[in-house]
Amino acid sequence: MTDFFGDIPQIKYEGADSTNPLAFRHYNPDEIIMGKRMEDHLRFAVAYWHSFAWPGGDPFGGETFQRPWFGDTMELAKMKADVAFEMFNILDVPFYCFHDADMRPEGANFAESKRNLEEMVDYLALKMESSRTELLWGTANLFSNRRFMSGASTNPDPDVFAYSAATVKTCIDATHKLGGQNYVLWGGREGYETLLNTDMGTELDHMGRFLNMVVEYKHKIGFKGAILVEPKPQEPSKHQYDFDAATCYSFLQKYGLENEVQLNLEQGHAILAGHSFEHEIATAIAMGAFGSIDMNRNDYQSGWDTDQFPNNTPEVALAYYHILKAGGFDKGGTNFDAKLRRQSLDPVDLIAAHVGGMDICARGLKAAAAMVEDGGLEDALNERYAGWQTKSATDMLTAETLDDIAARVLKENINPEPRSGRQEILENYVNRFV
Ligand code: XLS
Ligand code: NI
Ligand code: NI
């Protein structure tokens, strides 16, 4: 036991009237929502990197957090893991997620980094034996170290491609060993700073081959988890190839991976791409590529990936509405890819941030489920598309040609009458639930 969290007890559900800042007011794991426990709907995960590895730096100043486990030794890495599992227990979260670089010190060379990772994986496996918290996903950090400054699989230097492939192999092995339910690839520097020095077609081909190798390896070792790609339009690169859900899907199709790889969608990345979160979720669902979500929010004034904890119920409710309508998570879940503000120094801040985030998500889920059960949005959709229930309408999709349709429009003197889209009525409807 470390004494990092002092006497903060395990967080309990106390109901909406509770004024205890360290209690859940909405997140009630055992509450049944649409026939399933709330915990099993939401599948919360804590992100190792933001909570335990991020030092609180920004472009103008370094570390503010000064955690006792900061440093590059295995001993400190183990202390970090101890603290992480203490927090998982305080929050009673079902899952966590990690990058290799979050939990092991970087070695002097690949072999040493690999050994460090393997030793930490054994240590985490041990911690998991006496904890209920499982691994939602693992991933490789192919963006922090300077060797990745020009990309990982898209780097012009084949040695970096090789190093990245070897690193991803070790991270899939780690994820597999720890029983991870997914493996994520986020292409932080898979993109460019300037097209003046970038051969985009070649880089995309390399990235396509790389991802195919990941899928081949997954099958080779019998990893049953999902392979997920995480879209983001820019930052750190000026332009990232995994721009948004639609761009990722066309990439997957071009490289024959659309049946093998799904998407991990992040609220803040959706906003950076000029979309809403529900747009990205609905797009992935429409393509049959929905996998998991990274929950956070961006500051709407800064236009940057600020990775704050979510605190906007209406936004969260619409996201879960689409997820529920599509049948909910399968292997995916809600990972808090969110970090404290750099002035939030205290251990209690870390706990409160997650308590608030989990509560907002629970509230959003309950609102979403109430809308699904009420059926108002579904009815409005059915009514709006009711014309497509007729035979003449479906014939256009299955039997008629452009000529046929043109002839019919003339013959039947088809003359469409515009109808109201009822947007404000529907927005008012949603506001009844959130
Ligand atoms: C960064 C990404 C990253 C991925 C995992 O913006 O969100 O945290 O989720 O590499
Ligand atoms: Ni992000
Ligand atoms: Ni993310």
The tens digit of pLDDT for each residue in 113-141 reads 999 999 999 999 999 999 999 999 999 99
Residues of the chain with pLDDT > 90: what percent? 98
Q: Domain limits of the chain?
A: 32-374, 389-431
Residue 221 region by backbone torsions, left for phi larger than 0, else alpha for psi between -120 and 50, else beta: alpha
Model pLDDT, residue 433: 98
Half-sphere exposure of 180 (CA within 13 A, CB side): 26
Count CB atoms within 10 A of the CB of residue 378: 12
Domain 32-374: homologous superfamily in CATH: Divalent-metal-dependent TIM barrel enzymes (3.20.20.150)
CB 285 within 8 A of CB 246: no
419 alpha carbon – ligand 3 mean position (Å): 40
Phi and psi, residue 15, nearest 5° = 95, 165
What are the strands, taking DSSP E only, across 71-154? 95-99, 134-139
205 pLDDT tier (thresholds 50, 70, 90):
very high
Determine whether the shortest distance from the Cβ of 210 to ligand 1 is under 6 A: no
Q: Is pLDDT at 302 greater than 90 in this prediction? A: no
State the burial class of residue 366 (Cβ atoms within 10 Å of its Cβ: 0-12, 13-18, 19+): buried
* CA distances in angstroms from 367 to 228, 275, 431, listed in the order given: 28, 22, 10
Which amino acid is residue 11, in one-letter code? I
Q: Is pLDDT at 248 greater than 90 in this prediction? A: yes
Model pLDDT, residue 231: 98
Residue 263's DSSP bridge partners are 229, 290
Q: Is pLDDT at 301 greater than 90 in this prediction? A: no
Closest of 213, 198, 201, 252 to residue 230, by C-alpha: 252
266 alpha carbon – ligand 3 mean position (Å): 6
Phi and psi, residue 99, nearest 5° = -105, 155
Catalytic residues: 99, 102
Which one of the ligands is nearest to 293 CA? Answer: 3
Residue 228 region by backbone torsions, left for phi larger than 0, else alpha for psi between -120 and 50, else beta: beta
Look-up: residue for tokens 């077609």?
201
Average pLDDT over residues 53-74: 96
The residue whose CB lies within 8 Å of the most ligand 1 atoms, and thus the one to mutate among 182, 232, 336, is 232
Which amino acid is residue 163, in one-letter code? Y
Determine whether the shortest distance from the Cβ of 134 to ligand 1 is under 6 A: no
The residue whose CB lies within 8 Å of the most ligand 1 atoms, and thus the one to mutate among 50, 135, 139, 267, is 139
User: Could you identify the atom of ligand 1 that is nearest to the CA of residue 50?
Assistant: 8
Residue 266's DSSP bridge partners are 294
Residue nearest to atom 5 of ligand 1 (CA): 186
The tens digit of pLDDT for each residue in 150-173 reads 999 999 999 999 999 999 999 999
228 alpha carbon – ligand 3 mean position (Å): 11
Residue 108 to residue 103: CA distance in whole angstroms: 16
* CA distances in angstroms from 339 to 29, 334, 434, listed in the order given: 23, 15, 25
Host H or E run for residue 166? helix 158-177
102 pLDDT tier (thresholds 50, 70, 90):
very high
Model pLDDT, residue 1: 84
Model pLDDT, residue 300: 83
Determine whether the shortest distance from the Cβ of 242 to ligand 1 is under 6 A: no
Which residues touch 425 (CB under 8 Å, ≥6 apart)?
none
User: Could you identify the atom of ligand 1 that is nearest to the CA of residue 294?
Assistant: 9
Residue nearest to atom 8 of ligand 1 (CA): 337
The tens digit of pLDDT for each residue in 376-429 reads 999 999 999 999 999 999 999 999 999 999 999 999 999 999 999 999 999 999
Q: Which range (277-286, 303-312, 412-421) has the least confidence? A: 303-312
Closest of 268, 196, 277 to residue 235, by C-alpha: 268
Residue 226's DSSP bridge partners are 182
Q: Is pLDDT at 304 greater than 90 in this prediction? A: no
279 pLDDT tier (thresholds 50, 70, 90):
very high
Residue nearest to atom 4 of ligand 1 (CA): 186
Polymer length in residues for the chain: 434
* CA distances in angstroms from 328 to 291, 294, 333, listed in the order given: 10, 15, 9
335 alpha carbon – ligand 3 mean position (Å): 8
The residue whose CB lies within 8 Å of the most ligand 1 atoms, and thus the one to mutate among 294, 295, 334, is 294
Model pLDDT, residue 230: 98
Angle in degrees, CA 160, 166, 170, rounded to 5: 140
Mean pLDDT of the chain: 98
Determine whether the shortest distance from the Cβ of 139 to ligand 1 is under 6 A: yes
303 pLDDT tier (thresholds 50, 70, 90):
confident
Model pLDDT, residue 44: 99
Determine whether the shortest distance from the Cβ of 266 to ligand 1 is under 6 A: yes
| Counts of helices then strands in the chain (DSSP H, E) | 16, 12
Residue 218 to residue 397: CA distance in whole angstroms: 38
The tens digit of pLDDT for each residue in 170-184 reads 999 999 999 999 999
Residue 377's DSSP bridge partners are none
269 alpha carbon – ligand 2 mean position (Å): 6
Which residues touch 44 (CB under 8 Å, ≥6 apart)?
91, 93, 94, 95, 333, 334, 335, 336, 358, 361
Q: Which range (203-207, 218-222, 231-235, 298-302) has the least confidence? A: 298-302
Q: Which range (40-49, 148-157, 282-291, 303-312) has the least confidence? A: 303-312
